[in-house]
A and B are shown apart, each in its own frame.
Chain A
Amino acid sequence: MRTDDTAGGSDRDTRWDAAKFIVDARGRRCPLPIIELARRIGEIDLGATLALWADDPAADLDVPAWCRMRSQELVMTRALPMGGTAYLVRRLT
Chain B
Amino acid sequence: MGNVPAYLDHASTAVLHPTAREALLAAIDDGWADPARLYRDARRARMLLDASRETVAGVLGARPDEVSFTSSGTQAAQLALLGAARARRRSGTRILVSAVEHSCILHAAEWHENAGGLVSTVGVDRFGRVDPVGFAPPPDTAVASLQHANHEVATIQPVAAVADLLRAAGVPLHVDAAMSLGRIPVDVTALGADLLSASAHKFGGPAGVGILVVRTGRRWVNPLPADEREGGRVAGFPNVAGIVATAAALHARTAEITAEAPRLAGYVDRLRTRLPRLVPDVEVLGDPDPAGRLPHLLTFSCLYVDGESLLHELDRAGIAVSSGSSCTSDTLTPSHVLAAMGALTQGNIRVSFGRESDTADVDALLTVLPDAVARIRERAGVAGL
- B380 partner residues in chain A, CB cutoff 8 A: 31, 35
Query: Are A61's CB and B343's CB within 8 A?
Result: yes
Interface segment out of the listed B32-40, B270-278, B302-310 = B302-310
Instruction: Name which of B16-24, B230-238, B344-352, B357-365 contacts chain A.
Output: B344-352
Cβ-defined partner of B338 (8 Å) among A56, A61, A64, A66 = A61
Whether B305 lies near A58 (C-beta < 8 A) is no
Which of A30, A60, A64, A69 lies in contact with B281, CB distance below 8 A? A69
Chain A residue contacts of B385, Cβ below 8 A: 35, 38-39
Chain A residues touching B, majority SS: helix
Are the CB atoms of B344 and A57 closer together than 8 Å?
Answer: no
The answer to whether B339 and A61 have CB atoms under 8 Å apart is yes
Tell which of B154-162, B249-257, B325-333 binds the partner.
B325-333
Question: How many residues does chain B have at the interface if contact means C-beta atoms less than 8 Å apart?
Answer: 25
A76 to B73: give the CA distance in the assembly, Å: 41
A64 to B333 Cα, complex, angstroms: 16
CA distance A29 to B345 in the complex (A): 12
> How many A-B residue contacts, CB cutoff 8 Å?
64
- From known contacts A30-B325, A30-B327, A69-B281, infer whether A62 and B306 are also in contact, taking CB-CB under 8 Å: no
B305–A64 CB distance below 8 A? no
Q: Report how far A46 CA is from B156 CA in the complex, Å.
A: 41
List which A10-49 residues lie within 8 A (CB) of chain B.
29-31, 34-35, 38-39
Q: How far is the CA of A35 from the CA of B383 in the complex (A)?
A: 10
A-side contacts of B305, CB under 8 Å? 31
Contacts of B346 in A (CB 8 A): 30-31, 34, 58, 62
Interface residues in chain B, defined as those with a beta carbon under 8 Å from any beta carbon in chain A: 281, 283, 301, 303-307, 325-327, 332-334, 338-339, 342-347, 380, 382, 385
Between A and B, 10 residue pairs with Cβ closer than 8 Å are A30-B325, A30-B334, A31-B346, A35-B304, A38-B385, A57-B326, A61-B345, A64-B342, A69-B281, A69-B283
**A residues bordering B, Cβ < 8 Å?**
29-31, 34-35, 38-39, 56-58, 60-62, 64-66, 69
